[in-house]
């Protein structure tokens, strides 16, 4: 296993390259401007160029395989610029973002937004219906509640949770395609695109690649990933998934080609209250952290769709795999704990992934 043919899929705020070099015991390379030469089958000498930067709450890395380094660098920079634009439009942490304006004003009047934000909100509504509400971008009041009580080292009270739940529900999000405007039906409602905007940003970077003529590359935004074409050797890309109980190790690898992959889990991001860890993914119907599954990974045509569906799968808990199998056109991997064996996990895969998944942890059990 080398750093050339395996990319790591996770939600951790660190470079997948640095992680791979650490577990392989290798040295050298930097986050910005990682470069290595190679020869693709039947092609001229290819160069692999990787550029990355902190963005959207994680480390974004974009890799291209192209004979012309200057062309590759320009293509990557264009993709990163598109992703920065998405963050500027859709971040809940930016006062000047379109979502920030929606959260401040849309309960009192319709707020017009740009084409990109409207498209993401439209897909979010669609995924909310597909998932029977397991994916819900109106979860912002719950997120804010947990963020506030965590700072005070306490859980939300039942009264606080009930009040926040009264402001959650995608039926309260109204979208008018004619005016491209957004309304929130109840005062105090808010939008959080954290479970879908990053996937959309990956997609627009891939679209930028297509316009620039890049035929082989990878966009990785800390848990949301999309591969373009085949790798530089002409084969499928091999994506690694971290072990949720031992994140310094890899659990498995999966072969993908011209597809998006997104993973969702609580093993890196969580709230600590009273010395106990609570997952950051909240159930939009109970207001409590989702549990039952350790991680859920979805493979789809678009990273935006994979992102939202992976979140919905995690919210479904023990029913995560059943949920994934009900959605047409996707494949998935769900990792669950093994009863009475806290150090072991079961790996459940959809039928379409048979022969494409390789377990890298001998103690794991492959199901499905």
Binding residues for Mg(2+): 195, 307, 311
- Spell 339-351 as b/e; 16+ CB within 10 A means b: eeeeeebbbbbbe
d(CA 148, CA 142): 10
If you search the block for the tokens 């070099």, which residue do you land on? Answer: 21
Q: Order of strands, edge to edge, in the sheet holding 173-176?
A: 111-112, 181-184, 173-176
- Alpha carbon 157 to its chain centroid, in Å, reads 30
d(CA 120, CA 308): 11
Beta pairing, strands 341-349 & 365-367: parallel
Six-digit token string for 294: 């350790």
**Helix 69-90 and helix 197-212: axis angle, to 10°?**
150
d(CA 196, CA 135): 10
Residues flagged as binding site: 195, 307, 311
d(CA 132, CA 284): 11
**Helix 140-151 and helix 158-165: axis angle, to 10°?**
160
- For the chain, report the end-to-end CA distance as a whole number of angstroms: 25
Other Cβ atoms closer than 10 A to 360: 15
d(CA 316, CA 335): 13
Nearest in space to 56 (alpha carbons), one of 260, 167, 196:
196
d(CA 49, CA 80): 14
If you search the block for the tokens 């079961």, which residue do you land on? Answer: 346
């Amino acid at each position: 296993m080398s750093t050339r043919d395996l990319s790591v899929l996770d939600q951790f705020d660190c470079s997948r390259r640095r992680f791979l070099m650490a577990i392989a015991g290798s040295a050298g390379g930097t986050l910005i401007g990682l470069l290595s030469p190679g020869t693709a089958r039947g092609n001229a000498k290819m160069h692999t160029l990787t550029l990355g930067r902190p963005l959207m709450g994680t480390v974004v890395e974009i890799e291209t395989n192209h004979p012309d380094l200057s062309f590759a660098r320009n293509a990557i920079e264009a993709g990163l610029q598109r992703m920065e634009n998405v963050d500027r439009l859709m971040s809940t942490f930016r006062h000047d973002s379109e979502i920030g304006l929606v959260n401040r004003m849309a309960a009192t009047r319709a707020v017009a937004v740009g084409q990109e934000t409207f498209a993401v909100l439209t897909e979010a509504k669609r995924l909310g219906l597909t998932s029977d509400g397991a994916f819900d971008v109106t979860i912002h009041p719950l997120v804010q509640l947990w963020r506030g009580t965590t700072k005070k080292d306490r859980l939300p009270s039942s009264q606080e949770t009930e009040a926040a739940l009264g402001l959650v529900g995608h039926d309260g999000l109204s979208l008018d395609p004619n005016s491209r405007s957004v309304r929130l039906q109840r005062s105090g409602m808010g939008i959080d695109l954290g479970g879908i905007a990053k996937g959309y940003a990956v997609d627009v970077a891939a679209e930028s690649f297509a316009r620039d003529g890049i035929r082989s590359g990878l966009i990785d935004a800390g848990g949301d990933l999309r591969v373009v074409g085949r790798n530089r050797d002409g084969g499928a890309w091999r994506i690694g998934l971290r072990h949720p109980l031992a994140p310094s190790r890899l659990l498995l690898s999966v072969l993908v080609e011209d597809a998006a992959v997104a993973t969702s889990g609580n093993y890196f991001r969580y709230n600590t209250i009273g010395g106990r860890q609570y997952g950051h993914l909240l159930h939009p119907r109970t207001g409590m952290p989702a549990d039952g599954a350790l991680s859920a990974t979805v493979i789809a045509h678009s990273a935006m769709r994979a992102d939202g569906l992976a979140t919905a799968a995690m919210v479904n808990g023990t029913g995560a795999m059943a949920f994934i199998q009900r959605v047409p056109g996707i494949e998935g991997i769900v990792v669950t704990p093994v009863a009475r064996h806290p150090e072991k996990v079961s790996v459940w895969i959809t039928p379409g992934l048979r022969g494409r998944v390789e377990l890298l942890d001998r103690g794991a059990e492959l199901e499905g």
